[in-house]
Amino acid sequence: MIGITHNLRCGDVTSSFLCCSRFNALRLILASPANSVYHGMMKKHLLLKKNEEKRLLGGHQWIFSNEIQSIHGDPEAGDIVELHRHDGKFLGIGAFHPHSLISFRLLSTEREEVSFEFFERRISRALELRKRLYPGSESFRLIHGEGDFLPGLIVDKYNEYISVQTLSFGMDRRQTLICDVIESLLHPKAIVERNESPLRELERLEARKGVLRGTLDHTIISENGVKFKIDLMAGQKTGVFLDQRDNRQSVRRYVREGRVLDCFCNEGGFSLNAAEGKALSVEGVDSSDNAIARANVNLTINQAANVSFSVGDVFKVLDTHVKAGKKYDAIILDPPSFTRSKKTIATALKGYKEINANALRLINPGGFLLTASCSHHVPEDVFFATIEQSARLAGRLVQLLESSGASPDHPVIPAMPETKYLKFGIFAVH
């Protein structure tokens, strides 16, 4: 502004008055919130292309790189920036990444500092919700990324231990701050990071795993009366699959005095719940030696009768059982994701069709198929249509009795289909 006033100086009183008026007018223009030049000088911000804010205003939390018109202030990966509409109107603040397809992840629609107090408010709110969902429980997903309005952050609580994943550059840069907040609120014995997810590669983040704070030990959690020994450094995801918590309990009503086959059994969650439901016998199968070893530990802890676990390729096991004419009263299918991109959806659906058709061939009339998909690229209607197709292939009739998703400590944002990934259906088989 010094340079501007110097250039506008005039020699007499009248011209001086006119120059001052022009200066004031120019200052008002530059100071206008709608002026992107002003904001470019003053703040790191993104300017959207026209009409590209609609998805964000509808409740979504991401802005993709092809939706941005211009970048101001030279922000670096992980910086907090403002997001502006094409005409300069403020929309919110969030974490920026110049080299990711997801260039902006919304953190707030207000201008506020992303500080200790910011994370303390968000995490405290999430903790209060979990206490209402699972009163008396000390194990749950505490932060579910976008579902808890903290995109790219996963925090799981297993009794006195905390497991953290930072799946975005913005959250990874603030991992120390996040751990400070967690220590202040929960006073855990240890905090570990399980940052091995392939999603980090999309953010140009390296894989990491280790103890961040405290001293780590094994712990035993209780889930609806079933106990699981948790190894936070060796277990799946952040320690164990918490998202099927309520679905595991729901199997109990369908297995009483029945023969059950639990495919992709992992650490025995569905199998042990089937035993709790008074199943006559339960066979658990998984391709992972380590998962079966942990399942057998959980079997011992729970002293469950008539349950056995074995290592095997589920596709081959089902095919072999069909050829041998084996029969079950209930079969559980909880496979890993069959696709990580839209390009391989057709292959994934083929896999779902094969295992579900063979499972249906093995189920006695009047029995039940309990089947899941955690591939978020496969919508629920498409998945259930695939089950119907599998039934026709197997020459069976099915009735959908229950459908659900992840347990409520994995909240879904309706405007973000990406947050709804798990599909679980229970079918009567005729």
How do residues 144-195 score in pLDDT, each as one tens digit? 999 999 999 999 999 999 999 999 999 999 999 999 999 999 999 999 999 9
**Residue 264 or 377, more confident:** 264
Closest by Cα among 323, 266, 314 to 293: 266
Q: Over 90: is that where the pLDDT of 317 sits?
A: yes
What pLDDT, on the 0 to 100 scale, is given for residue 239?
Answer: 66
Q: Over 80: is that where the pLDDT of 17 sits?
A: no
What pairing do the DSSP bridges indicate for beta strands 328-333 and 259-263?
parallel
Q: Over 70: is that where the pLDDT of 243 sits?
A: yes
82: enclosing H helix or E strand? strand 80-84
* Band of pLDDT at residue 218, cut at 50, 70 and 90: very high
For the ranges 7-16, 196-205, 253-262, the lowest mean pLDDT is seen at: 7-16
The CATH fold of domain 2-54+66-73+82-108: 2.30.130
* Band of pLDDT at residue 24, cut at 50, 70 and 90: very low
Q: Over 90: is that where the pLDDT of 303 sits?
A: yes
Q: What is the rounded CA–CA span in Å between residue 219 and residue 215?
A: 12
pLDDT digits (tens, 9 = 90+) for 325-354: 999 999 999 998 887 778 889 999 999 999
Residues 201-218: what's their mean pLDDT?
95
What pLDDT, on the 0 to 100 scale, is given for residue 32?
Answer: 43
Residues 115-143: what's their mean pLDDT?
97
What pLDDT, on the 0 to 100 scale, is given for residue 174?
Answer: 98
What pLDDT, on the 0 to 100 scale, is given for residue 23?
Answer: 42
- What residue segments make up the domains of the chain, in order of their start? 2-54+66-73+82-108, 116-219, 243-429
Query: Hunting for tokens 């103890």 — which residue is that?
Result: 211
Measured CA to CA in angstroms, residue 233 lies from 21, 61, 170, 271 at distances of 68, 31, 24, 23
Residues 12-22: what's their mean pLDDT?
40
* Band of pLDDT at residue 43, cut at 50, 70 and 90: confident
Superfamily of domain 243-429: Vaccinia Virus protein VP39 (3.40.50.150)
Mean residue pLDDT across the chain: 90
Could you list the beta-strand ranges (E) of 321-422.
Answer: 328-333, 363-373, 398-404
**Contact yes or no for 408/245 (Cβ under 8 A):** no
Residues 219-236: what's their mean pLDDT?
91
Q: Over 50: is that where the pLDDT of 4 sits?
A: no
Tokens read off for 367: 């029995």
Query: Hunting for tokens 């207000």 — which residue is that?
Result: 110
pLDDT cut 70: percent of the chain above it: 89
What pLDDT, on the 0 to 100 scale, is given for residue 193?
Answer: 97
**Residue 341 or 47, more confident:** 47
Residues 252-276: what's their mean pLDDT?
97
Tokens read off for 163: 């497991």
Q: What is the rounded CA–CA span in Å between residue 291 and residue 297?
A: 10
User: What does pTM read for this prediction?
Assistant: 0.87
Q: What backbone torsions phi and psi does residue 115 show, to the nearest 5 degrees?
A: -120, -175
CATH class of the domain defined by 116-219: alpha beta
Q: Over 50: is that where the pLDDT of 408 sits?
A: yes
Catalytic residues: 374
Q: Over 50: is that where the pLDDT of 3 sits?
A: no
Residues 93-104: what's their mean pLDDT?
97
368: enclosing H helix or E strand? strand 363-373
What pLDDT, on the 0 to 100 scale, is given for residue 16?
Answer: 40
